[in-house]
Amino acid sequence: MQGHMSYHSVTVDTVVWIKYFSNYDEKSEIQAMFEVCQQRNIKIYRSSRVSNFDTTTKDPTQTEHMRNAISFLGALETPAPFILADQDDPKKTGSVLGDRNDPQKPESMFGTSDFLSDLNIDEREVEFISIVGCHPTKKNPAELGSKLSNHIGDYDALMQHYLNDFGVFLTYDTHLYFTHEKRLIYQEKLGLKVMSPSEFLKELLG
């Protein structure tokens, strides 16, 4: 278990960006959080899905505004290995596999082989898997239902945040991998801190 969490960087989850760019009620606190990060030289990371999939709209003006804002904030792209989408992914999130039984549909960006099995898993990855569980693509699809892309996206983003030793994972999500109980376990066993932007602000300014 790690000691006190360093606030040298944050990973901003896709749901936070969506609320920020769509002018949800949380926009003001998210803006305040970004300002504090800039003042304190806290690096901001984002999922590659933010500008490519989940929040991309058909409105070119809004999309350009979003990308300009991300650039202004200096948000760096999280190197998460998101998996190619197929026709079973209506939102085109880039986080679902093809059909394992159909060789014409690739299972991952690396071909038809199992992505995680093809890589050398290091010690930190083993620790992560021991606490968080195996990758969603290794589970029975019946257990995940229609939310497979959400499971994969959340898992990949959280794992890469941990493996890259980023500071705090910021999200409003309280489901799947981000329940209150799981956050406590991550903090205790991995030194991995998951917070909402408001919680992060309170701790920084408290």
CATH code where residue 136 lies: 3.40.50.1010
Do the bridges between strand 76-78 and strand 43-47 make them parallel or antiparallel, or are there none, so unpaired?
parallel
Q: What is the pLDDT of residue 120?
A: 59
Is 99 within a domain?
Answer: no
* In the chain, % of residues over pLDDT 70: 70
Q: What is the pLDDT of residue 115?
A: 46
Q: How far apart are the first and last CA of the chain?
A: 25
Is 102 within a domain?
Answer: no
Is 31 within a domain?
Answer: yes
Residues paired with residue 195 on neighbouring β-strands, in sequence order: 170
Segment among 23-32, 72-81, 154-163 with least mean pLDDT: 72-81
Is 104 within a domain?
Answer: no
Is 152 within a domain?
Answer: yes
> What is the count of structural domains for the chain?
1
Is the pLDDT confidence value at 195 over 70?
yes
Mean pLDDT (whole number) for 160-177: 93
Alpha carbon of residue 49 to chain centroid: 9
Q: What is the pLDDT of residue 138?
A: 86
18: containing domain: 9-83+114-205
Is 106 within a domain?
Answer: no
Q: What is the pLDDT of residue 161?
A: 92
Helix residue spans in the chain (DSSP H):
14-21, 27-39, 49, 60-73, 123-132, 141-144, 148-163, 180-190, 197-205
CA distances from 33 to 64, 88, 127, 203 (A): 22, 36, 30, 11
CA distances from 140 to 98, 143, 171 (A): 15, 6, 26
Asked if residues 147 and 176 have their Cβ atoms less than 8 Å apart, the reply is yes
Mean pLDDT (whole number) for 164-192: 95
Q: How confident is the model at residue 26 (pLDDT cuts 50, 70, 90)?
A: very high
Is 98 within a domain?
Answer: no
Is 193 within a domain?
Answer: yes
Q: What is the pLDDT of residue 201?
A: 93
Angle at which helices 14-21 and 60-73 pack, to 10 degrees? 120
Asked if residues 186 and 195 have their Cβ atoms less than 8 Å apart, the reply is no
What does DSSP assign to residue 46? E
82-99 confidence digits (pLDDT tens): 454 443 444 444 444 444
